[in-house]
Structure formats: structure tokens, C-alpha cells
Structure 1
Amino acid sequence: MMKMNRLAFALATMGLAGFAIGASAAEEIKAERIEVTGSSIKRVTAEGPAPVEVITRKDIERTGATTTNELLKSLSTIDIFDQGELASNSPSGSGTGNIQIRGLSETDVLVLLNGRRLPVNALHDGSGAGAAVDINMIPISAIERVEILKDGGSAIYGADAVAGVINFITKKNYQSIDVRGKYGVSSRDDGQEKSASVTAGFGDIQEQGFNVLATLDVFKRDPIYRKDRDISKSVDFRRLGGSDGRSSFSPYGNILNDDGAFTGEQVRPCPADQLSGTRCRYDFNASLLTAYNGADRQSGLLLGTVKITNDIRAYVQGFYSKSEDHFEAHPVPDYFLLPDGRYYAGRFMQGGPRITDRKSTLSQFVAGVEGYTANLDWSFVVGQGDGKVTNSDKNYYNADLWADALGSGRIDATVNTNDAAFVETLKVKPVRKGESKNTFVDGKISGELFELPGGPMGWAVGVSHVKEELTDTPDALTQAGKVVGSIQQAAVSADRKALGYFVELQLPVLDKLEVQAAIRYDDYSSSAKGFKDNDASKASPKLAFSYRPTKNFMVRGSYSESFRMPTLKQLFGASDQGAIDVEGAAECTGLGLPANCEIPAYQVGGSNSALKPEKGKTYNLGLVADLGAFSGSIDFWRVEKDNAIDQPTILDAIRAGSWSQDPTNNRYLIFTNLQNISQVESQGIDLDAQYGLKLPFGKLVIGDTITYYQKTRERKAGEWESTLGIYASPRYRNTVKAELDAGKWAGSMAVRTTGGFYDTDEQPSASNPLPAGTRKVPSHTETDMMVSFTGIKGLRLDFGVKNLFDRMPPFSNQNASDNTYTQMGFAELYSSRGRFYQLGAQYTFN
């Protein structure tokens, strides 16, 4: 109660002060003063101590991107692991898009919409993976620009902005009607995309005292199937020099002995093309599964602004987005009983494909008042974001009824002639519902104090209160692990509050030297049962500078600290359980089994209410140059994290004795609950350069951006292990662009290259390097082209080709052979869509 009283008093004081000053002042809000992501102090120029990458509306159009996720994947700054768009069989992640930067996880990036935080995806893994904003829910047509703060933002925005901040900014004070449509299709006549949007704004804030902006966006995409691409048409990758990843859970039944090993016999004769050695295989890539998920999304945004006085504005913003997805996975695999008492690994084809219909919504309402009066900028904002997800499943089975049916011999998984009515009585339709909600109140004041040698000292103070709520409710059978064909999923119902205060100073200590100093204090509390108040509050400082030895050069640097609280599900999510195979020599001997064992087991992981916050430090040092035709920047950065939350590996858990056997079936249980056991380091260089040429027929700009990783590594105990240069962790991403503006015609070409990596996810250390001859996955390059015509008043026509030379991703056997990944034969850095044609039109009514 005392925390809320302090918050209310601070906000009320700032609000009353702002209104009182506003009533006596006559100056208009100074439009030329802007607030840049990374600072709460408004300034005349956008370039300051913080490295902020800005993607304008024109930049967005030149990429040809049709979704926000696709837009960000085109940036070298963004780490890519796009499993949500590629995999159709992930209970929590399919259809979603997350952002990672600096080699850290998606939970370390703070995503804002017009400067306000959005709720995270309501359904995410118990490990915390996926506990981030689903950027697929943000329509690309509503975005005016994107600002990416790359040196951490905890001191300004909150403790969880460890790796940086991505701020999506929509249009404001818009007076026109803009209608857009776009159509795209792959060169293989699939993956069809259709999108349409309307943006309408009327009223001028300065002249008429109000503005209303509304956008409506519709996006529809057809899926691409694995069977329709050569690289993924079969999970038997021996044709590409890989392994045979076809499943042993065959509809023809592979018989097991009493020790759970395959005998080499089948219940039914196995077709010759499905027989590998003595085992019958099932090719799950040859049908049903998608290589690129379909999508059906609608969204709308409404922003109304009113000028109360010449220096005070009030506004309300409402945002709503809905996505509906349909996913199918293969019929249920399981161990079935023969009349003689032996078991076989089979697949119940008669039951039909497992189906998930996913519906997700994201909404946000914000109301605020802001002003510039008597040399003070001030704002007061309240709002709430709400994300809901419902997964509705079909063709799953009640485990108890299923076991009785198998035990009585009434189900034969090798035929399609079981009693259909009886089969239907075994089925269940699990429903999992989740809701993630953020309710926030914040206020801040900024202004200028006395003069320093380089100019007036700027300052800002602010206070915020955020209530975070999460409910994740699988149905009762799923929670009990009683759904055949699914995994056990834990329920969560928890909330917590965070009260934060910050102070920021902008110090032009010399004519050429500016210093930014900020500190934020965040205090977390929760009424959830079992919450451990361990280090749940901390101050996060930041110190940055920019030095301009000449008007053409600037040196900048920063140091900041951060801490990230565990997600609510990491703290309160109970246990999750999933099927695994134990087959490594070290794992087998650790369980007291022969070194060449190959047995099924269950991995039991999940939450830990005693988890402590992760703590981080970020360093940045850079040089910016503007030489007229040439401009560029180079930034060195480093991030360090302690107390990082991770789960022990299967081998580490076995070595620690964290395993047992289920007394009902003797199946091994390996326990890998979350712990604060890791240290993480990431280090690299960002380079951005461009050169402009004036030609007789227009202006040509050639640019290059690259993010190069020098180091990413982690350690749980003992030695550091490198995570750089192994599976899906390339050393660099590079984009070379050429943009030509020739009046009515404009064109652009982008060449995007992603570095190669070793084809393994084993993390080498000093004493355990990668074996000589470890396979390498080569680098991959795609070229995009876009041409625009604006020769008719109000009309813009676009034609583009993504992946102009139809480059397919390079083969990865690690992906192909490991069901942790998509098993499509390539890393989730890419897609197999291939060449993609786009045609778009935009008409603006002025």
C-alpha cells in the first residue's frame, strides 16, 4: 500500500505541476524537439550518445517486407531463429515471431509500441523461451518507423531491457487517406500472400485542435509444405550426405523386446522403400507438415489527439490485432501391445492428424496527456495491454481410456479397420487458454537547468508502476499428463508488480563533449504463493558520452547495468514433461546401462520459485562520421550476464543424480528444473556505411551494414563453452544495398549474406574443442530487388522479387537429425520459400 501511495503522490504532483504551468503559459509545443529511443530528454538533434538504428517508412517499403517479422529479419542487427514461422507442431511457439539481438534471448529485448510496453505471448515454454512479444501481431502497414536502441535500456525503460529496446512508432497528426494492397506468390506457385490496408487521418492539431488517425490491416498467407521443396521433401537426408531421420514409429509396427530394443521384426510387412536396415520407417516430411506456416491476421489502430491549450495535448490510443492459425501434425505415435505381450512402436493412422487451431489477440489501450510549458516537457500516461491465446486441439486421446483399449486388444494401430465409433469414444479435444496482461501508469518531467560550457544541462525524472499478470490454463487432462499424443503442460496463474523511478541527466560539459547519466530503481513484489523476495529490487545505472572533435566526427561510448527478473512461468509454472531418447555413451553409463543403449525416457523440467534475477553489464564504444557524400559508424559492444537462468543438460542432470524411474512403467525420468547456473558473454562490432552519388538521372546511395560477432560463450560450471560459429550461430550477418531515386522511378537492391557455421550444436571449450573435420555449413546469400513508380499523382506502384536468384538454404545435418529443431534440412536462419514475386499498389487521397 505504501508503494502505491508513493506512486500516486509522485504522479499527482507531476500532473498538477504540468497543468498549473500549462494554464499560465502561451508557448506552443515545440515540434522540432523530439524524444529519441534511449533518452527521456527531448532534444533538437536525434544523434546522441546512444547507438540508435532508425528504419524509416521509406526503408520499410524498399525491403518489400509484408510482415513485421520479415522486416526485422532483413536487418543485420537482428539475430534470427525463426522456428515459430517454420514449425507447425510447437504447442506454444508455432505462428509467433520473436526478436533477439546481441546473441541473447528474446526475453532480454524490450518491445515497445509508441514508447509503451506490450504484453508477452501468453503461451510459452516452461523454460521461459518465447516469453516475449509476438511481433507478428504488429501490422507493418501501421508502422511509420522503427527505432532500435542497441546498448541496453534498463536505466530508462525498466530492468528487463538488457539487450536493448525496439520501439515501433506509428503515424501521428496524419491528414489523408491511404489505401494499399499487395499480392505475392513464390515461383513454385505456393505461399501466396494477400494484404490490404487503409490508413485515414483527419484534423490538424495546430490549426483545428485535433487529429484522428485510424488504420485497418488484413494479411492472409497460404502455407508452403515440406513435400514441395527438394531440401525437405523427405526426412531421409542420405541423398544430401546426411542421416536417415525417418521415425521408427511406423504404421506397420516395429516390434520391441523386453528391454525396449528393436528386434528387427514388423507387425505387418514393411514396403521396401520404407525399410532401412531391419527397421520400418515413417517419413513425416513427405506429407502434411509445413515448411512455412500459413497466416490469417487482422488488426486495427485508432489514435485520437486533442489540443487542450496551445501547449497541452491529450490523446487516447487503441490497438487490436487478431491472428488465426491452423496447424496439423502426424497421427499419434505410441507403444502398442501385441496379443503375445510384446510391444511395438507404431502410429495410429486411423485416428487422423493431430490438429491445433490457434487464435491469438493482442490489444492495448493508452490514454495520456503531455505538454511543453515554461521550459518543461511533461507527460502522464495510463494504459493496459492484453494478449490472449487459445489452442484448440483435435484427434488426441484420453490416456486412461487409451491404455484400457490397448490392454484389451481393441486397438490395432497397423490397420484402419478398428471400430470407428469406439475410436471416437477415446478421443479428447484439449483446450489451452492463456492471457498475458500489463497494466501501467507512468509520468515524467524533463527540462533544462543552468548553463554548462557546452550548453544547458538537461534533466528528466520519472516514475512508473506496472502490474504484470499471466494465466496459462491447459485442460485438466493435459496438466495431469493424460493426453496421448501431447506433452504434459503446467498451469500458471500469477502476477507481480514493479515500481520504478528514474533520473536522467544530459550534461554538455564542454562545447564538444556531452555526457548522459541515468539511474533507475526497480522494485518487484508478488502476492503469488511461493514467491521468494530474493534480490527483487535493484538500481540500474547508465553512463554515456559523445565527443565531437570536429563537426564531421563523433566518438560515443556507454556503460550500463541491468537485471532481469525471471518470468512468471519460470517462477510459478510447475513441471513440464516431454519424451526423449537416451542413447549417448556417457548418458547410458550414467544410468547404469550399457554404453550403446538406446532407450526412451522422459525429461522433466520446469519452474523454480527460488530463482533470482539475472544481472548484466553492457559496454559500447563507437565512432560516427559524416563527410557529406560518405557517412558511417562503427560500434564495438560487449554484454556480460551473471546468474543467467538455464536448465542442466540431460548429461549434467544424470551426473548429478537427478533422475529416477517411474514405478508404473520403469521409464526413466530425467529432472532438469531451471536454475541460476550460467554466465553469458557476447561481444562484437556493428558497422554501417553509405555513400551517395548524384547522377544525371537521379541519386544513387550505396550502403553496407554488418554485425560481426567476436565472441558468444557461456559456462554453467568449469570452463567457458563457445556458442559462436556452431549451429544457427553465424559469426556475421551483412547487408549491401544500392538505392536509386530517379524521380518518377525508384529502385533498390539488397544483397543479404549470413555467415556459415559448424554443423553441430556441441559447444566447444578449451579442453574439448570441436573434432577435426567437423562438417561446416557454408554462408548463404539472397538478393532482393524492388522497383517503384510514382508518375501518377497519388499513386505508387511497386514490383519486387525476393530471393531473386532462387537460392535454397544450405544443408544442415544437425537440423535434419535432431527433433529439437524443424528437421527440414536447414537452420532456422532461412526459409525454403525460394524466389518470391510481389506486386503492390498504394493510392493516397489528399
Structure 2
Amino acid sequence: MLAAQETLAQQTSLERVEITGSAIRRVDAETALPVVVIQRADIERSGATSVVDLMQRLPAIQGSTGESASVGGETFGFSGISVHDLGESRTLVLLNGHRMAIFGGQTLTGFAAGFDLNALPIAAIERVEVLTDGASALYGSDAVAGVVNFITKRGTTEGQVSVGYSSPKGGAKETRFSVTKGIGDLDKDGWNILGSYAHDERTLLRSTSRDYASTGRVFFSANGKNYRFQQYSASPIPANVVDDNGNLVNPYLITNGNCPEKTFRVIDGSDDFCGFDFVGELEIFPIRKRDAGFLSFTMNLGAHQAYADLLMSQSKQTSRIAPVPGSIAIPTTSPLFSQYLAPIGITQDTVAFYRLYDLGKRTSSDKADFMDFVAGIKGTVFKNWDYDAFYTHSQSKAASNVSGYPGALAISNLRKSGLLNPFVLAGQQTPAANAAIAAVNYNGYWNGGKSTLDTLNLRGSTELAKLPAGPLALAAGVNYNREKFQSAPSLFAQGLLADPVAGTLCDPNATSGPTQCDQRFGDAAATVPYSADRKNWGVFAELQIPIIKDLEVTLSARHDNYSDFGNTDNGKAAFRWKLSPQALIRGSVGTGFHAPTVPQVAAAPQPFGVTSDKYTCSAGLAAVAAANGAECRPGSQQYDVVAGGNPLLKPETSRQATIGFRVEPASWLSAGADFWWVAVKDVFGTLPEQSVFLDPTAYPGSWTSALDVGTGKRYVAFNAGNLNLGKSYSSGIDFDISSRTKTPFGGLDMKFNATYMLREVAQQVINGPYYSAIGDYGDNVGGVTFRVQGRASAALKTGAFTNTLAMNFKSGYKDATTTVEVLDAAGNVTGTEDVRIDVPWHYTFDWQTQWEMNKTFTFTIGALNLFNRKPPFAVSTGGVNRGQQFGYDDRYYDSRGRTWYVNATARF
């Protein structure tokens, strides 16, 4: 027995099973491809309370979007999975071997264009098979990085009820409940129905509950010096304004000599203003509620078996960030000008950058509904053909409701009416002003989308002949897919309302007056709705050839036809050579492809939020602003982003290879390693904002302009359209060691898994230089790839008790270059300096004790991050798919800290 896959063969006796990555059913489950199998016992011992948490514990998983990304990002609560940091859209997720609809909240740039793991209830999962090699020759598009196949419980009459509670300090507490029951014995009755339901809820976690995440003003030491860095927004309360010299100043600071609460003083060149500490307002882990139900039906029909599965789930997530910032025009004719600005020497019309604090926090309430239905029949025909014919319908629908967002014109009108005063402290607006502010708060549906997938599939396998070295086996199949996507922005998101709260339609041609179109204050939006569909069909064949005894070669090929970009052919060759009962080597070479999503091709150009980082107006930025008939934003601020689909976008194509071995030098020890290599051509993407802002004139096509409807100012904007950027190359080694032995204290089961990244480079433009993110959060990559990730665990079973201790680890990296303030011994600022700090290795330990009281009851208690290790300090602020958290990187580290949990299970 050489690997976890052979456990499947043991469990099913001599039943033929189909392993992820091959369509040929076989008894010997150790295939030519590297497949990691996570059994139900492994899931329970991991302490994971959701599929999202379970997948993030795997060493081969990097670059996945987590739930915390919704803090300041329009993610609709999406959580995905990425194998080897190759991307969620290149990792194919299956349920019981069939495709599912990708997320309905996917964006037009390809973000969240994968499967949302929140849709799957962990209580219904029997095992997970993770293929860490490309499989486009079998599955088609999206399988460039690998395949993750979730296999549900079925065919059992057992019942199980589980309850659980998790309790980190300060928030993010979870309660959960699940029940599963089957009726009907397949062998005796000829049929079985199994149902499962799961519910879980989580409370919020505020940034102020974690000292390392509670403020944007941090002090640290590096390189023998003391530094300070201030992460802020240039829109505070009371407001900053632009003076006659174009500098950003704060009237409250000038009058009182200090900045008010929730702000700190910022001196940046000639700018001297108050920065708002929005970090202290964040809820760094969102509120969540999930419900999922799974129903399966199986009936024996002689040599055939009919089946149908239905999965329905709903995930609700609520995230809150600081009250909305925005710009307000202050003309010289305004009484506010005479009272606050003229006394400090301002003589011209100006703009106030203001935080509408009295409106309350911005809230996004996201809901994702998922449904997947499959019906089919499988069995044996013509004596030795195993076949499976099935139809699937799958859909994902995402919707976001918001509050705390007024219209920009509504706020401008409040200023003109004399009710709103942006120059007083929080809580000092008049009662009439507070009532007026509350009256313009938009509280309702904002945006969403729906993705559907319908498929027809027929596949089969057989042994063609008995050769001296073994059976010659063939698998073949055909499929037809229809994919649809419909974006569904609200009228407010489309910029088609004159009064967002009342729902009054506007006149798009009006430039003033009560029918002028309003847009969201501080975050302009004129989203263009669109819909599109795609059809494709494919045919594949796979041939398993025994060359000599214990050496077999597998050849596979696939042809696909897409309605929107034509034909593609891909192939794969793999070998498996069992050198002895204790040793095996295996390898593969193949090609793959990844089709662009429907939105990446068909979406119309439109506003797409703001940059992830703040930028000052360099000479180059001023030049491109002037070329676009616009101007820079004063001070250091975020800039508007515009994006759209690209009908000329070509599919990504890939080449990949693996070579590996497995050895079992003793009956109690098994080990293996697999080298993998992936090359991708015509990589989808948008130019990294950091690169474009670093050298604005080098990217003339990356700029446009956006009008601020509240002030009438036209500012330069970043044009982040979809492009084929060039090539990427990735390679690494996946290791695993496992052992089972008896000790005087009981049976000891130990496992070690790790991934070592050898290479990861990518171009940002065709024929351009290559950049690497391995251990290096460079200025041009927007993130980091960890050189090493791993997990080691030891489980000791003593009688009715099983005690498990696990260590999770990941290597350190160089943080992004950041300009910080240098402090002298007295704490005074002496200048600025660009620094890159070293983020150290990070280790956490998990502990669990499971008590099998009897055949009916099991009680589990444990702690994740047992020693309460804090995320390592990082001073970088930008990055791809990052939330607004600061002081650590929420994409890579969990802010929940030590989490005690308890689970109780009853079987019946």
C-alpha cells in the first residue's frame, strides 16, 4: 500500500472506483497522478468547522480568497480555492465528479471567477480528493492548476446529529448544528434516500479587539532605527480642504493646534492635514450565517443504478467599515467659507474632503444562494462497459444590500441648504442636520449577479483486452455545457436615479437640477448591466496501456468547441511504474487551457471601485492627468478605477509536467514527493496598479478620467481593463510522510505534508520582464507566494480517547517597499525612508481530544492556534484582493487567534 488512495481500494474491497484525474475505474487506486485524499476522520481531526477552513489548511493551497477579503472589498462573501497559487479560476472544483456553476458575484476582471466554497456543507462531505496536477485533457477548461473533488455521503442508513461551538477571544464566535440520516438499504431494499442539513453562525470581530490591528498609526524598529507609519484616509471629520496653493490642510488643526479624536496629524511635503484612522473602525472578521441542505436518492435497477442529488445552500455575510468619505464643493459664496476658510487665508473656491461620520458605518449585507441538481444512471452494458450518463443544473446567485451610502448630489444639496456642516466634530451636527443626513441614507439592494451551468454528460470505461502485463483499459466520454451570466446592478449602482432613497429616475442628459443623475457619495458608480452566454461541447478518450508487468502508460486526449472562441485540443501522457511492492515512480506531461469568463469578454467599460492603495501626484501622474483632461487628487488619496470586458481576449494555454515517487520501506512508514511544473501563456489579468502608478507615462493606455458628480471635478482614473499579459512559470515539490505504529500508550498516527516552491515568475506585459513573488512581496506583484508551507500532525489513540497535536507553518518573506517616517531617540520625525521589513516564519499549533464515549456518542474539545500566536507584523498597505485590515496581511494570516471549540456528535 503506497498512498492514501489505496485506502479507498481497501474500503471498497474489489469494487472498481474512479479516482479524480482519471475516468478509468480500477481496483488499484494508486494512479500515475498525485492525488491527496482527505478522509472523514482527517476532516474531524483537523478541527475545521467549514470547507473554507479545511482547504486553507492544505500545504498545496495558496492564493485563495478568504472571508476577511470582504472587509472593504465587494466580494459578496466569496471564498475560493487555489492550488499552488496558480489561481482560483484555474482550479476546477467538482462535486461527486461533476462541474458546478462558478460564483454569481464574479467580477468583470475575473476575480471570484471560481467556485464559492461557502456553498458546501462540511457535514455532508465524506472525503475530498485533491489532484495537484493539470487535468484539462479529461475535464476541459479551468483544470490547469488542479482539481478538487468533494465527495458526499451516500447509500448509508446511519443517522448523525452534531452540535458545536467555537470561541475566540473578543468575537468571531461560532455556533453550528448538523443532522444527517439515510433510509433504505441498497442491498436489501434496492433503494436509499439520504438527507443532510447544516446551519452555522458567526459573530463579528472588531479591529479594536486585536492590539496588532486596532490602529493605522504604528511604531516599529528595523535596521537599527525607529520608524513610524500612518495608514489613514485624507477624508476625516472635521474636513480637510485644499488651500490656494493646492495643498491639503485642515481648518480644525490650524485653529486648535491639534487633530481631533480618531485622526492624527499628517505632514507630507507641503500638505499638513489630519488623517482619519479608519483602521480602528473596521470589523476585521465579518458576521456570517450559513444554511445548507443535501438530498440524495439512489435506486438499483438490475445491472444499473439511477441516482439524483440536490444541494441547496445560502450564505449570508455582513461586513462593516468606517463611515463613508467623499468630496464636497465649498464655494466662496458659502457661509461655511466665511466662517471657517477665509479666516485661515483661503480666498478661492475649494473642495472639502469629509467623513460623513454621523451617518454611521458603511454596511454590506451579502447573500449567496447556490443550487446544484444532478440526475443520472450508471451501470454496466455490453458485459464489460462501465458507464455513467447524467444531467446537471447548477446556479449561483449573489446579491448585496448596502447602507451608509448617500448620493453625492444629495450631500452637496445638504451643504447648499446650510444644514450640513463638514467643519464640526462628530456628534455636533444640529438635530435638523442629523435628520436630513439620515433621510439621504440609501439602505437597500446595490448589486449582484447570477451564474448558471447546464450540462449533459456521457462517459464510460472498459477493459479492451487482457495483455500479458495487465488489462488494456479505455475510457471515453462526451459532454455539452451551456453557461450563462447575468449581472444585476441596482438603478442606483447604474447611476440612473435622481433621488436614490425615493427611487426617482433621472434624466441622463440633465447637468443640473432635480432630475440630474446622482451617484454614490465618495465612490462613484455607473455600472452597466450585461448578460451573455456560452455553449461548448467536448469529447475525450483515455487509454491505459500496460507495457510490462507493473509499468503502465496512460494516454488521454480531448477536443473542445466553444461558441465564442472556437476549438482547442489538449492531451496528456502519464506513466506509473511499480518498481517493487515497496517503491513506485510516476510522472506526466500534458497541455491545458483556460477559457476567459463570460464577464471578462462581454462586460461593458464601467467604474470599478478605487485603487487598493493611496498615491500622491507625481510629475508623471500630473502629465497623464493633463493628457486626459483631468487633474490629480490633492494629497495622498485613492483613485477611481475603470474596467471592462475585452472581446479580443484569448484563452490561456498551458503546459505542465510532474515526476514523483512513493516508497514504503516498512509496513508502518510511507513517503513520497512529486515535482510539478506549469507554464501558462497569454495570462489573463490587469496591469498591477503599483506598477502603473510607479511609472505613469510608461502605460498611456492605462489612464482615463472620472467625474466627481458631487463637486464637478474631473480626476484622472486608472483604466484596469482585461488583457493577455504574457507568460508565467511555476514549479515546486509536494512532500508527504506518514506512519502508523503501536506504542505503550496506544496507536500513533503521524503525518507530514509540505509544499516547497522552486519557481514562480510572471510577465506583466507581453515580452516584458519577469517578476517573482516567492518570499518577496515586490513592488510589482501585489502579493507573496510562500516558499514553504506545511502541516505536521500526530494522533495518539488510547482506548476511547484520541489526542491530536498539529503544527502549521509557513516561511517568511520580504514585505513590500514602504515609505515610512524616521524617528530620533526622542520620537521626533527626522525624515522619511523607504524600508522593506522581513516578515518572519509563522507557526501555529492545534490540539484536539476526541472521546468516543460509546458507539453512539462522541465528544470533542480542542483549540486552534493553541498558543495564541499573533499574525506577524507587516507594514504594506496595498495588494491584490486584500481587505482594509492593517498591521498584518489578512490574506495569509488569521486574526481570530486562539480558538477554543467543542463538538458533540450522536449517531443513530
So what's the TM-score if we normalise by structure 1? Answer: 0.90
The answer to whether the 8 Å contact 1:85/1:96 transfers is no
Matched residue type, 1:233: S
Cα distance change of structure 1 residues 817 and 360 upon mapping to structure 2, 3 Å threshold: closer
1:19 maps to what in 2?
A: none
Distance in 1 between the 2:704 and 2:15 partners?
66
Aligned residue pairs: how many?
Answer: 797
SS, match of residue 410 in structure 2: helix
Cα distance change of structure 1 residues 261 and 125 upon mapping to structure 2, 3 Å threshold: farther
Shift of 1:498: 1.4
Cα distance change of structure 1 residues 251 and 592 upon mapping to structure 2, 3 Å threshold: closer
Distance in 2 between the 1:443 and 1:661 partners?
51
Unmatched segments (≥5 aa) in structure 2? 1-11, 222-226, 267-271, 338-348, 496-517, 778-783, 819-832
1:825 maps to what in 2?
A: 887
Distance in 2 between the 1:599 and 1:835 partners?
37
2:200 maps to what in 1?
A: 219
Within-5 A mapping of 1:27-426: 32-91=15-74, 93-186=75-168, 188-238=169-219, 241=227, 243-257=229-243, 260-266=246-252, 269=256, 271=259, 274-277=263-266, 278-287=272-281, 289-309=282-302, 311-338=303-330, 339=334, 340=337, 341-373=349-381, 374-407=383-416, 409-415=418-424, 416-417=429-430, 418-426=432-440
Q: Cα deviation per residue 1:550-573 (whole Å; 9 max; x = unaligned)?
A: 111111001121111111111112
1:22 maps to what in 2?
A: none
Q: Which one is further off, 491-500 or 399-408?
A: 399-408
2:751 maps to what in 1?
A: 703
Matched residue type, 1:275: F
Shift of 1:817: 10
Matched residue type, 1:504: E
SS, match of residue 562 in structure 1: strand
Q: Cα deviation per residue 1:144-177 (whole Å; 9 max; x = unaligned)?
A: 0000011111111112211010000011211111
Within-5 A mapping of 1:581-730: 581-583=614-616, 585=618, 587-588=620-621, 591=624, 598=635, 600=637, 601-627=639-665, 628-649=667-688, 650-651=692-693, 654-658=697-701, 659-661=703-705, 665-715=713-763, 716=765, 717-727=767-777, 728-730=784-786
Distance in 2 between the 1:548 and 1:468 partners?
42
2:610 maps to what in 1?
A: 579
Cα distance change of structure 1 residues 745 and 252 upon mapping to structure 2, 3 Å threshold: same
Distance in 2 between the 1:219 and 1:435 partners?
24
1:787 maps to what in 2?
A: 849
Distance in 1 between the 2:126 and 2:880 partners?
41
Cα distance change of structure 1 residues 173 and 604 upon mapping to structure 2, 3 Å threshold: same
2:805 maps to what in 1?
A: 749
The answer to whether the 8 Å contact 1:815/1:821 transfers is no
Distance in 2 between the 1:56 and 1:706 partners?
18
Shift of 1:266: 3.5
Shift of 1:797: 0.9
The answer to whether the 8 Å contact 1:196/1:218 transfers is yes
Q: Cα deviation per residue 1:471-507 (whole Å; 9 max; x = unaligned)?
A: 1111123123822244534423111011010001111
SS, match of residue 538 in structure 2: strand
Matched residue type, 1:775: I
Distance in 2 between the 1:30 and 1:525 partners?
44
SS, match of residue 729 in structure 1: coil
The answer to whether the 8 Å contact 2:163/2:176 transfers is yes
The answer to whether the 8 Å contact 1:162/1:562 transfers is yes
SS, match of residue 100 in structure 1: coil
Alignment pair present for 1:561 and 2:591: yes
Q: Cα deviation per residue 1:763-787 (whole Å; 9 max; x = unaligned)?
A: xxxxxxxx99732100100000111
Q: Which one is further off, 263-272 or 635-644?
A: 263-272
Matched residue type, 1:741: K
Distance in 2 between the 1:592 and 1:478 partners?
26
Distance in 1 between the 2:634 and 2:772 partners?
29
Cα distance change of structure 1 residues 409 and 83 upon mapping to structure 2, 3 Å threshold: farther
Shift of 1:275: 3.2
Distance in 2 between the 1:156 and 1:198 partners?
35
Cα distance change of structure 1 residues 443 and 245 upon mapping to structure 2, 3 Å threshold: same
So what's the TM-score if we normalise by structure 2? Answer: 0.84
The answer to whether the 8 Å contact 1:545/1:558 transfers is yes
Matched residue type, 2:624: L
Alignment pair present for 1:498 and 2:484: no
Distance in 2 between the 1:359 and 1:821 partners?
19
SS, match of residue 123 in structure 2: helix
Unmatched segments (≥5 aa) in structure 1? 1-28, 527-532, 763-770
Distance in 1 between the 2:328 and 2:570 partners?
57
Alignment pair present for 1:806 and 2:837: no
Alpha-carbon RMSD: 2.5
SS, match of residue 300 in structure 1: strand
The answer to whether the 8 Å contact 1:397/1:485 transfers is no
Matched residue type, 2:204: P
Within-5 A mapping of 1:420-439: 420-428=434-442, 429-439=444-454
**Which of 466, 470, 486 is 1:455 aligned to?**
470
Distance in 2 between the 1:819 and 1:553 partners?
43
SS, match of residue 458 in structure 1: strand
Cα distance change of structure 1 residues 793 and 671 upon mapping to structure 2, 3 Å threshold: closer
Cα distance change of structure 1 residues 799 and 587 upon mapping to structure 2, 3 Å threshold: farther
Distance in 1 between the 2:670 and 2:879 partners?
46
SS, match of residue 219 in structure 2: helix
Cα distance change of structure 1 residues 266 and 729 upon mapping to structure 2, 3 Å threshold: farther
Cα distance change of structure 1 residues 284 and 619 upon mapping to structure 2, 3 Å threshold: same
Q: Cα deviation per residue 1:56-103 (whole Å; 9 max; x = unaligned)?
A: 000000001001010111111111544433542222x15221101122
Cα distance change of structure 1 residues 525 and 673 upon mapping to structure 2, 3 Å threshold: same
Shift of 1:637: 0.5
2:500 maps to what in 1?
A: none
Matched residue type, 1:725: G
Distance in 2 between the 1:700 and 1:612 partners?
52
1:507 maps to what in 2?
A: 545
Matched residue type, 1:316: A
Shift of 1:591: 3.0
The answer to whether the 8 Å contact 2:71/2:883 transfers is no
Shift of 1:263: 3.0
Q: Which one is further off, 539-548 or 336-345?
A: 336-345
The answer to whether the 8 Å contact 2:64/2:85 transfers is no
Shift of 1:322: 0.8
2:515 maps to what in 1?
A: none
SS, match of residue 599 in structure 2: helix
